[in-house]
């Protein structure tokens, strides 16, 4: 068994235990394998172990892997910041974009999505605690952007994602994740049909699942430590 296969089994066990502890069905939580800085061979190993959803931060690096692994049935999620001059690459190669935080980027993605592809699946990135990254809309601005994104023809708004600052312990992590879940619930209460709350990483996926996450983004616990900074 490869290290990646073993790691995936460990992560799957953590997910199952976290769902059970939270009284949730395992099928409510999608595992996104974050393969940034790892090569196409590592992604292929994870796929051989049953993994189909992959997240990437660096667009050019990602496109190389997406092209190289075109023969596999994979779903690729862009989870890194997107500059205007990269929207075309994203629109042409990815299945999901989780980091939309400006209307201008959303409009370009919609315009540039090739007609023969299904709509891009989109999450709005919400900056819940002002920390970790400066990316993301503030919670009070999420609804306006969500309504604008939902109206774009080649985008399908699925939910929100957030990258909060690492918390010191489980309770503190749950408090931040609960505030993100509240933003998600508020959006749904306005009538938006959303099903994706992307939060939680290797170190805090249990707290995220406890707090209602439907998608955890896990890199280190599957592929090992990254050499390159992120």
Ligand X SMILES: *Cc1c(COP(=O)(O)O)cnc(C)c1O
Residues lying near ligand X in the complex (CB under 6 A) are found at 34, 36, 57, 79, 163, 201-203, 217-221, 230
CB closer to ligand X out of 159 and 219: 219
**Nearest distance from C-beta of residue 43 to ligand X, angstroms:** 14
Q: How far apart are CA 204 and CA 167, in angstroms?
A: 8
**Nearest distance from C-beta of residue 190 to ligand X, angstroms:** 26
Residue number, nearest CB to ligand X: 219
CA distances from 110 to 10, 76, 90, 187 (A): 38, 17, 11, 21
Q: Provide the 8-state DSSP code for 101.
A: -
CB closer to ligand X out of 67 and 203: 203
**Nearest distance from C-beta of residue 218 to ligand X, angstroms:** 5
Tokens representing 222 are: 């599957």
Beta-strand relationship, 75-78 and 53-56? parallel
DSSP letter string over 73-103? --EEEE-S---GGGHHHHHHH-SEEEEE--H
Q: How far apart are CA 24 and CA 209, in angstroms?
A: 9
**Are 51 and 224 within 8 A, CB to CB?**
no
CB closer to ligand X out of 36 and 181: 36
Q: How far apart are CA 191 and CA 20, in angstroms?
A: 29
**Nearest distance from C-beta of residue 133 to ligand X, angstroms:** 8
CB closer to ligand X out of 155 and 218: 218
**Nearest distance from C-beta of residue 160 to ligand X, angstroms:** 13
**Nearest distance from C-beta of residue 140 to ligand X, angstroms:** 22
CB closer to ligand X out of 160 and 201: 201
CB closer to ligand X out of 82 and 163: 163
Given its phi and psi angles, is residue 119 left (phi above 0), alpha (psi -120 to 50 degrees) or beta? Answer: beta
């Amino acid at each position: 068994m490869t290290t990646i296969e073993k790691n995936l089994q460990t992560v799957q066990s953590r997910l199952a235990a976290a769902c059970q502890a939270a009284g949730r069905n395992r099928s409510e939580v999608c595992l996104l394998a974050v393969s940034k800085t790892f090569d196409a061979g590592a992604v292929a190993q994870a796929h051989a172990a049953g993994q189909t959803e992959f997240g990437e931060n660096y667009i050019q690096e990602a496109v190389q892997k997406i092209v190289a692994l075109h023969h596999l049935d994979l779903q690729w999620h862009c989870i890194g910041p997107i500059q205007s001059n990269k929207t075309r690459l994203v629109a042409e190669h990815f299945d999901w974009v989780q980091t939309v935080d400006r209307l201008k980027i959303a409009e370009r993605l919609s315009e540039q999505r090739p007609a023969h592809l299904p709509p891009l699946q989109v999450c709005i990135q919400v900056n819940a605690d002002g920390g970790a990254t400066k990316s993301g809309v503030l919670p009070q601005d999420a609804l306006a952007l969500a309504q604008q994104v939902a109206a774009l023809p080649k985008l399908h708004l699925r939910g929100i994602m957030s990258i909060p600052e690492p918390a010191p312990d489980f309770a503190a992590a749950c408090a931040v994740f609960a505030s993100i879940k509240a933003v998600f619930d508020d959006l749904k209460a306005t009538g938006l049909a959303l099903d994706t709350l992307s939060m939680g990483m290797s170190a805090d996926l249990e707290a995220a699942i406890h707090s209602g996450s439907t998608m955890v983004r896990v890199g280190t616990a599957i592929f090992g430590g990254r050499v390159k900074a992120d």
